[in-house]
Structure 1
Amino acid sequence: MPKFLIERDIPDTGHLTREQLVAISESSCRTLRGIDPEVQWLTSFVTADKIFCIYIAPDEEVIRRHAFEGGFPANAITLIHSTIDPTYADA
């Protein structure tokens, strides 16, 4: 199944409390369960004004639906073609 990078513009995200981030996480998981049990949220990176998420999903439309039903943005959705890491330098 394809893997996607989702960019969510959320002003002042870097100042959210742990409790607020937990609430966002719970909302996201609850919404995903109601949409497609095969969709997987792998991880997210919280920055000052954005959250970058990695998802495995059948297509971009499922991710857009998740964002709409969850009430959070999906400002950019990018298909991930491959991944690399520092071990590639040692090959």
Structure 2
Amino acid sequence: MKRFLIEREIPGASSMTAADLRETARTSNAAVDSLGVPYRWITSYVAGDKVYCLHEAEDADAILEHARRGGFPANRVVEVASEFGPHTADAVSA
């Protein structure tokens, strides 16, 4: 599966309570379960009036369908081209 970053514009997102986040997660999980295709929600981050999510799916259409079924905005969906982090500095080339 491919990885996608999703930017969701949600006014007041940073004010969501633990209960709000729990209900949003339940809604997202139900949407994932209803898709009937390989799909995995990795994690999400709340920052200001936006939520940034990392999901795995076969294509962007599955990402958009998840958003539609969950009632979430998906203002921007981009496929992850590569990943790196602090450990990359120590990687051995093959």
% same residue: 37
Q: How far apart, CA to CA, are the structure 2 residues paired with 1:36 and 1:56?
A: 14
Unaligned runs of 5+ in 2: none
- 1:5-44 to structure 2, matched below 5 A, reads 5-44=5-44
Instruction: Using structure 1 for the length normalisation, give the TM-score.
Output: 0.94
Instruction: Using structure 2 for the length normalisation, give the TM-score.
Output: 0.92
Superposition deviation, residue 72 in structure 1? 0.8
Aligned residues: 91
Aligned residue in 1 for 2:67? 67
The one-letter amino acid paired with 1:58 is E
Unaligned runs of 5+ in 1: none
Q: How far apart, CA to CA, are the structure 2 residues paired with 1:88 and 1:68?
A: 36
Q: How far apart, CA to CA, are the structure 2 residues paired with 1:64 and 1:57?
A: 10
Superposition deviation, residue 69 in structure 1? 1.3
Runs of 4+ in 1 over 2 A off after TM superposition: none
The one-letter amino acid paired with 1:49 is D
Superposition deviation, residue 89 in structure 1? 2.3
After superposition, the C-alpha distances for 1:38-75 in whole angstroms (9 at most, x for unaligned) are 20000001111011000000100011111111111000
Q: Per the alignment, in what secondary structure is the counterpart of residue 23 of structure 1?
A: helix
Q: CA RMSD in A?
A: 1.0
Q: Per the alignment, in what secondary structure is the counterpart of residue 74 of structure 2?
A: coil
